[in-house]
Chain A
Amino acid sequence: MKNHFAIRLLLLIAPLAALAETISTNASTWEKSVVNIEVARKSYDYYQPWNRRSERAAKTGVVVGERQILATAQGLSDQTLVRMQKNGRGKWATASVVWIDYHANLALLTTEDAAFWRDLRPADLTSKPPAEGAKLQIVRWREGKLENRQAEFTQYSVNESVGSAINHVQMELDSEIRDAGSGEPVITDSRVAGITASQLGRTCKVITASFIHSVVDAHKSVSPRVLGYFHFYWQPAENPASLAQLKLSGEPRGVLVINVPERLDGVDCVLKPRDIILNIDGFDLDMQGDYIDPEFGSLTLENLSTRGRWAGDDMKMKIWRDGKPLDVMYRLPGYDFKNSLVPIAVHDQMPDYLIVGGLVFQPLTTPYLQRWGSEWERTAPFRLNHYRSDEATKAKPSLVILSQVLPDKFNIGYQEYRSLVVSQVNGQTVNKLADLQAALKKPKDKFHIIDFVPNESLQRIVLAAGDTEREATQRILKRFGIADAEQITSKSAAGK
């Protein structure tokens, strides 16, 4: 508790100190280290997944090593051309991606253009988080000039990475800067304390230097390591009656495990509901689920899954079970978008789809739901949206939906139906498009019988199979200007 108080005191003092001092950073120093990045990328219309268009995005990068530019991963997926520009103006150099880590929201870029590297100087990353009262600036090129904005440290918090469900510590800053969050370096004492990942109002969230160090080092190895996460749900143990019920002796502490979903990697879950987790990796947990991080102070336990730990690592946990203490070893699962029932992102591939007789089938993904616009969490069909709260299981690892019907005489009577979740086709369970593809090869007496999860709209569709269906599909593709009847990535093949 004493340490906790000290950290809070520090947080209160830091912004005041930042306000009181003037900026003394030498801007010209950063002209040699900060670059513009321009990304041209394909973007997809998930409602008409065969359509694509070109988008351009601007980002900021920082030189961090020999021919290495650090940037955030956001906006780099499905890229068709990446270019970099130094000095905020002049010639663009074509860049290539050395590696990209969507879960860490980090990427490393380079270019073979030797002239680009001339006069550029790598910046150092801080080895320690900004000290109390440290001067912070956010730096980027704006209209050919280096913009240098003061920022006030607010707090360290553990948040989901932009574009992933991975949790890691982030630095929160308050700044007048606008439209930041695209990888602008945050400077303190002539070193990079982090790069911005997002901005909401005046609050910028920053990927810290220590996390960057950790991820960059991991990608240096021959077989890069993957970030992990805790695959269980917990609640604070603030209710002493609950601790008494679970017969915990001593001071209130730890967190209550409430749900341990099935693991798809086949590893034993180890934990059980009603366990009390007292310590992870040597760090005691308080009853809010916080631990004292040597670098950042009080942080929530999720940060321990990415604090120098990687998928496959064994982590020691002290738990309280059935009235007794117990030491267990928790193997950290790796996070993969495809392991979610409704993946939150799809990168570097066309959206999957399959068209049969004008019926358009797609995997249910968050990008598909996001086509309902900025308020998609409220306006997308409730039932489809609610699947996001369900866990993937071996029996139901993903979902396929009928997203729309391209009208034709072949599918007359079905034109109005959409947003239905497929359960079976021709008697075979369908979880993936590859399952659907396989099931369509086995029609029932010259018919395709498509069953949907019970709903108030329609539970079954029947289509003719064989030549009639093939002709109809070709006719519909031609009429609607669609090149291919299907786009199924090999990774989603049945059984993989």
Chain B
Amino acid sequence: MFLKTVFTCLAFLVAGTCLGIEPERSVIQILTYRQSPDWSAPWRFDVVQRAGGSGFVIRGKRIMTNAHVVSWARQIIVRKYQDAKPYAAKVEFVAHDCDLAILTVEDESFFDGLPALGFGDLPKVRSTVITYGYPAGGEEISYTRGVVSRIELSPYSHIGNRRLLTVQTDAAINPGNSGGPVVQDDRVVGVAFQGIKSLEGAGFFIPPQVIQRFLKDIEDKHYDGLPLAGAGIASLQNPAYRALLKLPDNNLGARVDRIRSKTHTKNVLRADDVILKIGEFAVASDATILFQSNRVFCAMGFQLGQSGDSVPVQLWRDGKLQDVTVTLEAAVDDQCEGNQFDVEPRYFVFGGLVFTQLSLDYLRDSGREGSEATAGELNYELFFRNREEPELAREEPVVLSSVLTDAVNANFITRGRVLVDRINGIRIEKVADVIRAFASSTNTHDMIEFGGRGSFETLDHAEAVRANTKILKTYGITQDRHL
């Protein structure tokens, strides 16, 4: 009892005193001026747009907010509660996979008189929380009260291809609330971050477990990323499947259905392993664990640690219990499948041919131009090839995004939006290969072969070299490449 009390006090001191204060004083209004690239014309940026969000002061004279509030920001302005003065801020750390960011303010006097808010634990379902923020519709701070409705793993829409622990509440979370604190008993129990259009009256916030993991990750001044299990885990409730695996009919255990090909997990787990425990969590037959009284998908058991951490896993394999250790890894090989931020697209322009990386952002920006067959080929290459034919998957598939018309390419039938297979016989794995393939050419003509049906085009190499500078100037491209 004594020990527990001491621990609580220490945590209280470390977190920074905020009990008894008004949290709104530490809630920050964030204004950004952002400019995102045009992924189909990757040297170009869209018009500057103004956006607003919220944040809050944490210890160390820093502001926590959502990654999506500050992504692609050219300028970040922060304002204090009931203070008109704008302060310039910059991003110290950003974690797009869990939609969190840390800002610092150039003028440290900004933090004078602003107490850091401390973090609480995961709120209970049915308990009451209050959101603080600067949502659209007014200039002053706004408060909304709501009940915690549900806690489970849900998609994080900012990155688009990650499911993390999420808390749903009926407290209104509107545009501009993003990054603001969700408070219970004067402690931050979440960061407001998204809503769903089809679910009126439902808002979502990032819980303390995700926030604390992020803060620990950046303690070494580098953000490694959210670790993943590296395996697809399926429920195991059919009696026949359990009998085949000689597994007791005790409602425990989920089945490893598939392994990500580019992870160390493939050396530890294999298909049809039955996961009985992840760390301290028993895994039920519906592939869930009981996490602080909430039934959540068992991948949660791998999301609490840091990249490089070891997680003990109890398996049922070949009719026997077995203990293994899974080393957590932050997955970075699937970035192109999700939304990307703050890193400008890689490209290369030669002879008016614009080569860039295939990505979700590219597909979205390039719209539905081109034939359905072409669009299908790119979709397949990005999302399915590495699962169905990993031996043929490319490190970073490259597309011919467009053809900037010039006499040297005017006779091309292909006008872009097509996967590049080979150039001068060199298989194109990434944008850098395109540069190498053209540079290494000893022929008078460069042959560019495309995916799909196998169409190809040919470029007079000497003419393309001669035309390059003029084409770049004509189309206002200052650099022929960005890698």
Contacts and interface: CB of A to CB of B under 8 A. Distances in A.
B321 to A, nearest CB: 21
B241 A258 contact: no
Interface stretch (B294-302, B309-317, B323-331, B447-455): B447-455
Nearest to B232: A456
A449 B240 CA distance: 10
B445 interface: yes
Contacts of B452: 389
Interface stretch (A70-78, A212-220, A239-247): A239-247
A445 B244 contact: yes
Interface stretch (A15-23, A174-182, A309-317, A377-385): A377-385
A238 B412 CA distance: 7
B376 A241 contact: no
A377 B243 CA distance: 41
Interface string A221-243: 00000000000010110111110
Contact of A462 (B238, B376, B384): B238
Interface stretch (B191-199, B456-464, B471-479): B456-464
B460 A383 contact: no
A241 B238 contact: no
Contact of B272 (A386, A455, A460): A460
Interface stretch (A324-332, A406-414, A432-440): A406-414
Contacts of B238: 411-414, 461-463
A282 interface: no
B411 A455 contact: no
B379 A382 contact: yes
Contact of A454 (B234, B388, B457): B388
B454 A464 contact: no
A462 B241 contact: yes
B45 interface: no
A70 to B, nearest CB: 34
A241 B387 contact: no
Contact of A259 (B411, B447, B453): B453
Contacts of A273: 454
A458 interface: yes
Given A235-B413, A238-B411, A259-B453, A447 B244 contact: yes
Interface string B228-271: 00001011111111011000000000000110000000000001
Contact of B411 (A240, A385, A389, A445): A240
Contacts of A349: none
A456 B384 CA distance: 9
Interface string B372-394: 11001101100010011000000
A453 interface: yes
A259 B388 CA distance: 22
Nearest to A241: B458
Contacts of B241: 413, 461-462
B240 A463 contact: yes
A236 B460 CA distance: 18
Contacts of A244: 444-445, 458, 460
Given A455-B387, A456-B232, A460-B257, A241 B460 contact: yes
Interface string B259-293: 00000000000011000000000000000000000
Contacts of A447: 240, 243-244
B458 A459 contact: no
Contacts of A236: 413
Contacts of B445: 241, 244-245
Contacts of A462: 238, 240-241, 244
Given A238-B411, A460-B271, A377 B372 contact: yes
Contact of B413 (A239, A454, A459, A461): A239
Contacts of B377: 389
B447 A413 contact: no
A282 B243 CA distance: 68
Interface in B211-225: none
A43 B164 CA distance: 46
A453 B444 CA distance: 44
Interface string B434-449: 0000000000110100
Contacts, number: 96
A445 B243 CA distance: 11
Given A273-B454, A389-B373, A453-B388, A239 B412 contact: yes
Contacts of B237: 412-413
Contacts of B388: 453-455
Contact of A456 (B243, B272, B387, B412): B387
B457 to A, nearest CB: 6
A262 B445 CA distance: 30
Given A259-B453, A386-B376, A412-B238, A245 B244 contact: no
A122 B179 CA distance: 80
B456 A258 contact: yes
Nearest to A274: B456
A249 to B, nearest CB: 16
A233 B454 contact: yes
Given A258-B454, A382-B379, A460-B272, A413 B236 contact: yes
Contacts of A245: 445, 447, 458
A239 B240 contact: no
A236 B412 CA distance: 10
A453 B258 CA distance: 11
Contact of A241 (B239, B258, B384, B411): B411
Contacts of A238: 411, 413
A426 to B, nearest CB: 12
Contacts of A382: 376, 379
A347 B453 CA distance: 29
A235 to B, nearest CB: 5
Contacts of B243: 447, 464
B163 to A, nearest CB: 12
A447 B257 CA distance: 18
Contacts of B413: 235-236, 238-239
Interface in B310-369: none
Interface in B114-145: none
A344 to B, nearest CB: 14
A242 B458 contact: yes
A154 B361 CA distance: 42
A286 to B, nearest CB: 14
Nearest to B376: A386
A459 B376 CA distance: 23
B203 to A, nearest CB: 27
A27 B339 CA distance: 65
A120 B454 CA distance: 54
B359 to A, nearest CB: 17
Contact of B258 (A235, A412, A445, A459): A459
B387 A454 contact: yes
B240 A464 contact: yes
B257 A459 contact: yes
Contact of A459 (B235, B271, B456): B271
Nearest to B447: A245
A464 B239 contact: yes
Contacts of B239: 412, 464
B376 A258 contact: no
Given A413-B238, A413-B241, A458-B257, A239 B411 contact: yes
Contacts of B235: 413
Interface string B411-447: 1110000000000000000000000000000001101
A454 B383 CA distance: 12
Interface of B: 232, 234-241, 243-244, 257-258, 271-272, 372-373, 376-377, 379-380, 384, 387-388, 411-413, 444-445, 447, 452-460
Given A244-B460, A464-B239, 11 more contacts: A235-B413, A239-B411, A239-B413, A245-B458, A413-B238, A447-B244, A449-B244, A453-B388, A455-B388, A458-B234, A462-B244
Interface of A: 233, 235-236, 238-242, 244-245, 256, 258-259, 273, 377, 382-383, 385-386, 389, 411-414, 445, 447, 449, 453-456, 458-464
7 contacts: A239-B411, A239-B412, A382-B376, A383-B380, A454-B258, A461-B241, A463-B240
